[in-house]
């Protein structure tokens, strides 16, 4: 489900947002500095979580040892915390959408939340994350039954769960692209991917330790190819600070190929 989330946000959400935004506004303009920070953090976290376990030799199979898993979980959380700090405190101007109408420049300013509100929001975020994991676990058997009924591979279960979880972000990102605020679409997409890796990996690592479950994180060869292709394309997309409908189509083609090969591997 976490890998499916990365494919959905980096190819599906970004692709649709780029395509719709470029069709309406000819081309989309954004700040490559902020997007580069988010994408670099996402690439690093994804490599630690999904690529390196395939090549470690301490255990058979694409698994981490317990100390390795603990280190990877801490690293992923640090990367997500770095993103939150950079976006909300240290370099927040880099993540704001470019203003094309100076009359609405003040619309991007927001009052600083109080410490109490920040603590409450952080606690609510953790509770919401736990609720999503629990609900996904309860929903998984029903989705698995439906997938088995149509004869689709088990990988489709993770894709469907990820799609359900990402529906709100998807609609919001598309609306932002329509309003010519592609930077906000990137923030939503890459932020969702980072949250999935940086928060979920530590949580499932703790659960695997508590319940003695072997956590298989390493991807197979096909998934690794899609992951690397996605990140290469993403780097090329955001490098110039502007994009056309062509980049949107490219990301959607990759996403379509991923869905197709997931259903019929």
Q: Cα separations (Å) of 220 from 8, 245, 258? A: 18, 31, 13
Cα distances (angstroms) measured from residue 160 to each of 65, 166, 222: 29, 10, 19
Q: Over 90: is that where the pLDDT of 209 sits?
A: no
Q: What is the mean pLDDT of residues 151-162?
A: 83
Residue found by looking up tokens 């991923």 in the block:
258
- Residue 109 is predicted with a pLDDT of 53
pLDDT at 107: 45
How is the chain split into domains, by residue range?
2-98+116-263
Check residue 118 and give its pLDDT: 83
Q: Cα(21)–Cα(243) distance, rounded to whole angstroms?
A: 9
Instruction: Say which residue, 109 or 124, is predicted with more confidence.
Output: 124
Q: How many CB atoms within 10 Å of residue 258?
A: 24
Query: What residues does 243 pair with on adjacent strands?
Result: 28
| Cβ contacts of 93 within 8 Å, gap of 6 or more | none
CB 56 within 8 A of CB 64: yes
Quick one: pLDDT at residue 106? Answer: 44
Dump pLDDT digits (tens) for 28-63. 988 888 899 999 999 999 999 999 999 988 888 888
141 and 160 Cβ atoms separated by less than 8 Å: no
pTM across the whole model: 0.83
Nearest one of 194, 146, 143 to 2, comparing CA atoms? 194
What phi and psi values does residue 65 have, to the nearest 5 degrees? Answer: -75, 170
Instruction: Please write the tens of the pLDDT for every residue from 215-262.
Output: 888 899 999 999 999 999 999 999 888 899 999 999 999 999 999 998
Pick the CATH number of 2-98+116-263 from 3.65.10.10, 1.20.1420.30, 3.60.150.10, 3.30.565.10: 1.20.1420.30
Share of the chain above pLDDT 90, in %: 44
CA distance 227 to 114: 39
Cα–Cα distance list, 221 to 55, 68, 157, 254, 257 (Å): 11, 21, 19, 16, 15
Please tell me what DSSP assigns to residue 51. Answer: I
Distance CA 93, CA 98 (A): 10
Highest mean pLDDT among 128-132, 169-173, 207-211, 223-227: 223-227
> What is the model's pLDDT at position 100?
58
- Report the pLDDT averaged over residues 86-101: 81
- 3-state class (DSSP) for residue 45: helix
């Amino acid at each position: 489900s976490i890998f499916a989330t990365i494919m959905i946000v980096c190819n599906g959400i970004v692709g649709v947002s780029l395509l719709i935004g470029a069709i309406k506004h000819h081309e989309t303009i954004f700040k490559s500095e902020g997007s580069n920070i988010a994408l670099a953090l996402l690439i690093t976290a994804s490599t630690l979580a999904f690529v390196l376990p395939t090549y470690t030799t301490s255990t058979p199979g694409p698994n981490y040892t317990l100390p390795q898993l603990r280190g990877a979980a801490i690293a992923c959380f640090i990367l997500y915390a770095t993103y939150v700090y950079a976006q909300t405190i240290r370099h927040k101007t880099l993540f704001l959408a470019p203003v094309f109408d100076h009359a609405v420049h003040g619309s991007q300013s927001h009052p600083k939340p109080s410490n109490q509100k920040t603590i409450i929001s952080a606690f609510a975020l953790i509770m919401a994350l736990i609720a999503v994991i629990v609900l996904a676990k309860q929903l998984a058997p029903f989705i698995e039954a439906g997938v088995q009924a149509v004869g689709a591979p088990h990988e489709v279960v993770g894709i469907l769960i990820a799609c359900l979880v990402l529906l709100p972000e998807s609609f919001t990102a598309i609306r932002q692209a329509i309003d010519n605020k592609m930077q906000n679409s990137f923030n939503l997409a890459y932020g969702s991917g980072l949250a999935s890796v940086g928060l979920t990996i530590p949580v499932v690592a703790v659960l695997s330790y508590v319940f003695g479950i072997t956590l298989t994180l390493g991807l197979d060869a096909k998934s690794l190819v899609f992951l690397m292709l996605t990140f290469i394309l993403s780097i090329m997309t955001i490098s110039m600070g502007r994009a056309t409908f062509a980049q949107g189509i490219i990301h959607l083609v990759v996403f379509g190929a991923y869905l197709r090969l997931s259903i019929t591997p």
